[in-house]
Amino acid sequence: MTVFSRATYTAAIIVFMGLLASCATAPLPRAPSSPPPVADTPRPVDGTSLPPARMQGKSRWVAVPWSELPGFENDALFEAWNAWLKSCERPGPVFAPLCGEVRRLSIASADEQRVWMMSRLQPYRVETPQGAAEGLLTSYYEPVFKASRQSGKGYTVPLYQLPTGMASRKPWYTRQDIDTLPQAQAALRDREIAFMADPIDVLMLHIQGSGRLNLTEADGSQRTVRVAFAGSNEQPYRSVNQWLLEQGVTKINPWPDATKAWAAQNPQRLPQLLWSNPRYIFFREEALSEQDAFYGPRGAQGVPLTPGRSIAVDRGSIPYGTPVWLASRGPAADLQKLVIAQDTGSAIVGAVRADYFAGTGSEAGVLAARINQPLRLWALWPK
């Protein structure tokens, strides 16, 4: 987001595996022109002249020497180059002139890539407009679930395509309405993509905004497909985890096991739990080739996400396609690496804020659930 939006794991993923957001995709915006300069040019610390600070939407960018970027000399840059090449499939006007060089350097050594970056890009420390340089890193992933093309044999919870004629950006029926109102159900008739067994797993898929299905077809054959974010009902997102806390539930982690255990003990209240979040996500089915399987779903930039090298950002702070140096240290991970801003999410708001795409499957989910730690960011902008 990322997806919701990518919806899209986010600020509360550590307590509810992403229930504060989704990283689902959003429409591709026009890439902004170079941010206008503002006063307060930092004093160079390495004897070279640095550009003035810039205002970039919701953030303030302060030019710094490359020596400020922790771990820059040690990163395996070729891993990030795959993500950068993906961004070059849909570059904005700021980075498009560099894409030919980025492609040629895809087989270069890390040292050669590093020298090129230092010659062509200027690092800017990302701050809030008030000057705060530390923010929050969370993480999200692409879940994998079993599903059936037909309803029955325990698979009864539908995943829907967008309703026909649904107006974009206008609020539609809430989650409770979709479950209970005949007119909402009539609008979704024959729009089922597949059916899953557990409504809490469906809720998780809605929050992530995309996922993979190990799908049993009507003839009994099996295949793996991706379901990607196609739209939402444009209702506000509400944290189911917060609702549980308000009900006096003290054990809410790990997700989803603790929540499923609560639902098993309180089956009559399961609809209340689900309806506490009125937002509802619609999907589209995508074939999954062998090459596609290496990457995650498409982010808001419109390109596939690269595990460990794509982040979701506030697009009002960092434009899509921007290479970013990320530094975050916590109990879950010590990260000092090049990443690319390729996605967004409804809870990814603010200047120094990012959602780290951990990858696909349960291991990525475990990592994503644990990441909730301090963050610093440097945007790498063409000179």
The tokens describing 192, both together, are 């089922």
Q: What is the mean pLDDT of residues 145-173?
A: 93
**Other CB atoms within 10 Å distance of the CB of residue 105:** 20
366: CB partners within 8 A, 6+ apart: none
Per residue in 184-198, pLDDT tens? 999 999 999 999 999
Q: How far apart are CA 128 and CA 126, in angstroms?
A: 7
Residues 311-333: b if buried by 16+ CB within 10 A, e if exposed: bbbbbbbbbbbbbbbbbbeeebb
Quick check: 28 pLDDT over 70? no
How far is CA 233 from each of CA 27, 66, 78, 242, rounded to the nearest angstrom?
Answer: 16, 44, 39, 21
Quick check: 17 pLDDT over 80? no
Does the pTM of the predicted model rise above 0.85? Answer: no
Q: How far apart are CA 148 and CA 113, in angstroms?
A: 46
What is the phi/psi pair of residue 87, to 5°? -60, -35
Q: How far apart are CA 66 and CA 29, in angstroms?
A: 29
**Other CB atoms within 10 Å distance of the CB of residue 136:** 18
Q: How far apart are CA 12 and CA 361, in angstroms?
A: 19
pLDDT for res 48: 67
Question: What's the angle, vertex CA 21, arms to CA 284 and CA 357, rounded to 5?
Answer: 75
Alpha helices (H) along 75-187: 77-87, 99-104, 110-120, 175-180, 182-187
The tokens describing 324, both together, are 């970013």
128: CB partners within 8 A, 6+ apart: 58, 59, 60, 135, 350, 351, 352
164: CB partners within 8 A, 6+ apart: 187, 191
The tokens describing 183, both together, are 């007119």
Provide the sign of the torsion angle of the four alpha carbons 313, 319, 322, 326, taken in this order.
Answer: negative
pLDDT for res 253: 80
Helix (H, G, I), strand (E, B) or coil at 295: coil
Residue 254: cis peptide before it, omega within 30 degrees of 0: yes
pLDDT for res 13: 36
For 216, which DSSP code? E
Quick check: 16 pLDDT over 90? no
Helix (H, G, I), strand (E, B) or coil at 264: helix
User: What is the percent of the chain where pLDDT is above 90?
Assistant: 79
60: CB partners within 8 A, 6+ apart: 38, 53, 54, 126, 127, 128, 129, 131, 351
How far is CA 185 from each of CA 5, 149, 200, 268, 337, rounded to the nearest angstrom?
Answer: 23, 19, 20, 22, 47
Q: What is the mean pLDDT of residues 287-312?
A: 94
Per residue in 67-111, pLDDT tens? 999 999 999 999 999 999 999 999 999 999 999 999 999 999 999
What is the phi/psi pair of residue 86, to 5°? -65, -40
Helix (H, G, I), strand (E, B) or coil at 267: helix
Closest by CA position to 382, among listed 323, 335, 330, 331 = 323
Per residue in 120-155, pLDDT tens? 999 999 999 999 999 999 999 999 999 999 999 999
Provide the sign of the torsion angle of the four alpha carbons 279, 210, 194, 256, taken in this order.
Answer: negative
Helix (H) or strand (E) holding 59: strand 59-63
